[in-house]
Amino acid sequence: MGGVLNIILDPIFMFFVFPKGMEVTGAAVATMISNIVSLIYYLAVYYKIRKETVLSVSIRQLPMGLRFTSKTLSVGFPSAISSILVCVSIMINNKLVAGYGDIAVAGVGIVKKLEMLPNNVGTGLCQGMIPLISYNYASGNYKRMRKTINFSRIAGLAFAAICIIVFEIFAGNIAWIFIKDAQTTELTTSFLRIMCLATPLTICNFHMTYTMQAMGKGKESLFLAACRQGIFHIPLLFVMNSAVGLYGIIWTQFISDALTVIVSYIICRRTFKRLGNGIEKE
């Protein structure tokens, strides 16, 4: 609802409500209104079911909830670290690409926007599987938990494969939709065909990190979250930029995700092997 409303309100506030030159402000206001409407909807739903749910926003219930704070933070902290490192990575990436001119910055910016589609779908699948993994892990229903994990992985990779096919075949047409400049379109097309190859690897990394998170493996999920951006991607940006140049930066995501997949697989395999040996619950 919030996303659809934002799409509708964006052009209205950018081109009709605000004067020329304030398009960015208009987009920001549209986003703010969309979020407010979504919040009101959530509050209305909560008010309707408040007597039928264990959820509570009452301050009187706060002391009871504080006992779960450490467990909540141990699971949620990896996601926070991951988000912070992604922001840092994007800033460094943009700074390095800026050294090659405005066209390169525009091309990378367009590709990053296009990457959000498969990556956000993959993240959504991972977020959806978290409660299913957690419930089955806690109850000892490991067979059902594995089915959930496998289904989520297959669905994410299938969507990634479709995106790669579309991006590889129609990269030029897609780039032209964003900007009608021949030189920028050519560079964007080249960037997109390279960077989209990392999509299945990215989704696999998300999947394994969220799996560890859902099982309450705070240390493992924290390490995997930091590994992708902090240990591999950010240092590789500088190395690849110095060694190869602009296209070295473009290939960095693929290389860092490939390395992270190897590390993630080893950690996840060890965890599941312990569970299979009965050392700990899965």
Please state the rounded mean pLDDT for residues 188-214: 93
Query: Tens of pLDDT along 138-189?
Result: 888 888 998 999 999 999 999 999 999 999 999 999 999 988 889 999 999 9
State the alpha helices, DSSP H only, in 50-181.
62-66, 69-98, 102-139, 142-178
Sign of the torsion angle spanned by Cα atoms 129, 134, 137, 139: negative
Cα–Cα dist 89/53, whole Å = 40
Q: Does residue 200 contact residue 57 with C-beta atoms inside 8 Å?
A: no
- Of 117, 90, 119, 115, the residue nearest 105 (C-alpha): 90
Cα–Cα dist 219/194, whole Å = 33
Query: Tens of pLDDT along 58-89?
Result: 888 888 778 777 777 777 777 788 889 889 99
Query: Residue 279: what pLDDT?
Result: 41
At position 148, the amino acid (one-letter code) is T
Q: Where are the domains of the chain?
A: 1-66, 68-276
Q: Does residue 225 contact residue 144 with C-beta atoms inside 8 Å?
A: no
Query: Tens of pLDDT along 93-133?
Result: 999 999 999 999 999 999 999 999 999 999 999 999 999 99
At residue 203's C-alpha, the angle toward residues 188 and 5, to 5°, is 70
